[in-house]
Structure formats: C-alpha cells, structure tokens
Amino acid sequence: MHERSSVGELAEQLRRELDRYSPGGKLPSSRALVERFRVSPVTVSRALAQLAAEGLVVTRPGAGAFRAQPRVSAAPAGDTSWQEVALSADGAADLVPRSVDASGVLVSLAAPPPGVIEFNGGYLHPSLQPERAMAAALSRAGRRPGAWGRPPMEGLPELREWFARSIGGPVTAAGVLVTSGGQSALTTALRALAPPGAPVLVESPTYPGMLAIARAAGLRPVPVPVDADGVRPALLADAFRATGARVFVCQPLFQNPTGAVLAPGRRGEVLRIAREAGAFVVEDDFVRRLVHEDAGPLPRPLAADDPDGVVVHVCSLTKATSPSFRVSALAAHGPVLERLRAIQIVDTFFVPRPLQEATLELVGSPAWPRHLRAVSAALRARRDAMTAALRLHLPELALPHVPSGGYHLWPRLPDGTSESALTAAALRAGVAVTPGRPYFSAEPPAGHLRLSFAAVAGAGEITEGVRRLRTAWDEVLG
C-alpha cells in the first residue's frame, strides 16, 4: 500500500469508527492499530495526527489517543449565535439582569417612512433648527486658535462658566462638566450614583431612554407616580423607605411625557425627602429652552436651590438646536463631582473641542436669543394647532393637560383601547405616533399616546396628521 493513501485510508476508517468511543474515551493503542490494520507505526501516527488536526482526536504523548470532546461550535463560519451566550452568561450572578434595549429611544430618533407624518419625533424639524447660525458658529469655531487641540477634560472654562450661569444659584463653573448630550450625561450620572443591582426611583411615566440606561447599567427602576403637579411627594417618601434607593431621577420642568411642571410647593419637599433618605436627585432639565411663548416665568432648576449637593443636574442643548449638536452639562457639588468626572473621562475622554468652541460661538451670537424666541412662538402655534385639531377630529381622546413647554401632548386613551393596534393602524394611515407603554417601568394605569408637534413641517401637517389618526381610530375602534 502506498504510504500516503494508506494514511488517508486509515484516517477515514478511524473517522468512521469514532462514534464507538465516548467523548474523551481512549482509542486502541498504536500497537493494536498496527496489528489490526496491518500498517506501519508511522502510518498509524500520521493518521492520528490528521484526525487530531481535524479536532476529532486528541493525542497525549505517553498516554495515547482519545476521542476529542465535542467541538465548542459545530456552527458554520460566520455564525454569530455564540454571542447570545457570551452576552448573557455573566449575568447569571447578577441580581438584576442587564438588558440593552434601544427601541424606546429609536422611536424618536428614526426617520419615518416617506410620506408618513412624524408625530413621534423627539427633536425640532429642520425648519425650526438654527441651521445657519450653527453653520456659521461651526465655521468660526474651526478658525479659533487651538480649536483642534485637546480641551481640558472637564470642558472649556468659558463654556462651563456659561452653563453655570444659566443654571444659576450656587452652581459654579468648577461644578460643571461638559458632556456629549443628555443621554450620555444621564448614563454617567446613573453609573456614578448606583451600583449594579441597586434600585433607582423614576417618575412614572418617564422617558424610555432613561429607563433603558438604568436597565443597561443593571439598575432596577422603581416607579413613583406623577400627577399634574409632578412627582407625588408622599409616594416618593414611601418608595425611598421601601427600597432604600439612593437615587431619584426627576424632570421637574415639562416632564416627558406628561408635560407636568413640579409644583412650587413640591420642589422643596422633593429635595428634603431625598436629603433625609441620603439620596441624590438627578434633575433632567431637558427642555428648559423649549418654553412656549405664552408660558409664565419659569421655575429655576432644582439645582439652583440646592445648597447641600443633593442635585446632580443634567441639561442639554440638543432639543433647542439639533440632535447632532451634542453638547450638554452635568452640574453637581461635593465629592460626587469627582466620581462623575472620573466616569466621564473613562467613558468618553471629553467632548470634541470644535463642538465646544462652536457652542460658545452659537450661544454668544445675536442669532441665539432670536432663535429661541422664534422657536418659542412656533411651538406655541403648533401646540395650539394640534390641540384644536384633536378637539375637533378626535374628541374621544382625553387631553387632561396642555403644557406650556416641550414638544408634545400626552392624550389618554379610553379604557380598553389597544395602543399597539392603534399605533399600527396610524402608521398604515400615514402618521407615526408613539404608544404610551414604553414610558412606564411597570404596568400602566391607562393607555396613552405621545404626539409630538415639533418634528413636523408645520400646522398643515399637524391637521393632516390628526385626520389620519382619526382614520386609524375608526379602523380600530369604529
């Protein structure tokens, strides 16, 4: 027998017989194979080496050859299903499993299909964005000396100063970190303040993107109901007592989704309750600059009335500019600042300097106050157009609160209405709306829709969108 083919033939023979041995089981000795197959010891050792190269056999010098344990993956190349195990296996010991789910956030970020009216957008329509002023600011910023250099890790001093002034009260530039948008600032804050497995008190309902951050960090969101005056203090105190939580996330101004403003009498109470519980309040002041023209004077941020370092304040410029203008701030005082700073540096280093310089150019230009006034007037007109259209075409929808800031309404659905059937029918009719369910971290008390009036082209689209919603309504409930 020619040596090479006899190696191949023996390997094939052994391959066929491997099933006789259990995984890890010993194969006959080389001498036994030599005798049985009448081949040379070299042929036996080459045949075994071939099977070993194929991963079918393991040879241990001095001990013999063994059937290999089943391969970790018998999957074809390109099969990534192993990652499902890898991504969850570590969580086996976690008290609260981590889950990363972007769907709640993507609803307000994704572009709707062509021809669909966007009542689910979370940012200003391009026609309301200060596009020219941003472009001019960016081009001036790019020419500033050192614009492409490394900025201080905490942010440009002038920008920290500007944020501190706009927050007010005891907040100083030294207590401000420049961050990359509200989402990133909230992530830093939650990671800094609560270890995996810890409870975190959240308003109910609340912004799904924040719930997603909490879950991705392995935190356990515990809902505290909100009414027309913001979070209910007695329930907040109960929740702190029941959970021992050290963090409460709150949107005191034009809360997303309800539009509620924390009542003056509750502001101090919330801070006192948190202070007594030894807990932080993360204040997400996300739409202060989207106040409507007819609103009265705005309450200050909670951080402006907080001498004890209870509040970790988050504010972002994206809502008043563009989702791409990802500049925001975290403000705090006390040792927590160092923790926030460390996490921010570890996670992202710093916000690109040209963007920080552009922010200074933008907010320092005469176009900025003009832009804010224009947005204020436009949002009021859009809110009124949507409210009027809903009252005319969909009187069945309850609108308990019409906000004087922010960019959306939060109508309540009649009991028993299926949010998912209605949102699906709406999309078929040509209008994208957001269902209320993702805003609740536990079972919702009622069905809702969130209808944004900022991301559409104007009042005409708003009326048309409401008409389409009526069509969907008749299909589902008619």
Q: Give the residues lining the site for ligand PLP (CB under 6 A).
A: 108, 122, 181-183, 207, 209, 251, 256, 284, 286, 316, 318, 323, 328
Both structure tokens of 428: 């078929």
| In the complex, least distance from residue 317 CB atom to ligand PLP, rounded to whole angstroms | 8
State which residue, 320 or 389, has the beta carbon closest to ligand PLP.
320
State which residue, 208 or 447, has the beta carbon closest to ligand PLP.
208
Beta strand 280-284 with 408-409 is unpaired
State which residue, 65 or 250, has the beta carbon closest to ligand PLP.
250
State which residue, 328 or 423, has the beta carbon closest to ligand PLP.
328
| In the complex, least distance from residue 208 CB atom to ligand PLP, rounded to whole angstroms | 9
What CA–CA distance (Å, rounded) separates 432 from 414?
20
Instruction: Give the residue nearest to ligand PLP (CB).
Output: 182
| In the complex, least distance from residue 190 CB atom to ligand PLP, rounded to whole angstroms | 12
State which residue, 43 or 120, has the beta carbon closest to ligand PLP.
120
Phi then psi dihedrals of residue 348, to 5 deg: -135, 0
| In the complex, least distance from residue 114 CB atom to ligand PLP, rounded to whole angstroms | 23
State which residue, 73 or 348, has the beta carbon closest to ligand PLP.
348
Query: Residues in the chain, how many?
Result: 478
Of the candidates 243, 239, 244, 246, the one whose C-alpha atom is nearest the C-alpha of residue 203 is: 239
What CA–CA distance (Å, rounded) separates 154 from 173?
10
State which residue, 107 or 237, has the beta carbon closest to ligand PLP.
107
Phi then psi dihedrals of residue 69, to 5 deg: -65, 155
> Taking the alpha carbons of 415, 439, 400, 120 in that order, is the dihedral positive or negative?
negative
Tell me how far the alpha carbon of residue 86 is from its chain's centroid.
22
| In the complex, least distance from residue 238 CB atom to ligand PLP, rounded to whole angstroms | 24
What CA–CA distance (Å, rounded) separates 445 from 443?
7
| In the complex, least distance from residue 122 CB atom to ligand PLP, rounded to whole angstroms | 4
Exposed/middle/buried for residue 380 (C-beta within 10 Å: 0-12, 13-18, 19+): middle
| In the complex, least distance from residue 402 CB atom to ligand PLP, rounded to whole angstroms | 19
A 10 A CB-CB count for 99 gives: 12
State which residue, 207 or 240, has the beta carbon closest to ligand PLP.
207
Close Cβ partners of 205 (under 8 Å, ≥ 6 residues apart): 226, 257, 258, 436, 439, 440, 444, 448
3-state secondary structure of 281: strand
Contact between 423 and 473 under an 8 Å Cβ cutoff? The reply is no
| In the complex, least distance from residue 160 CB atom to ligand PLP, rounded to whole angstroms | 17
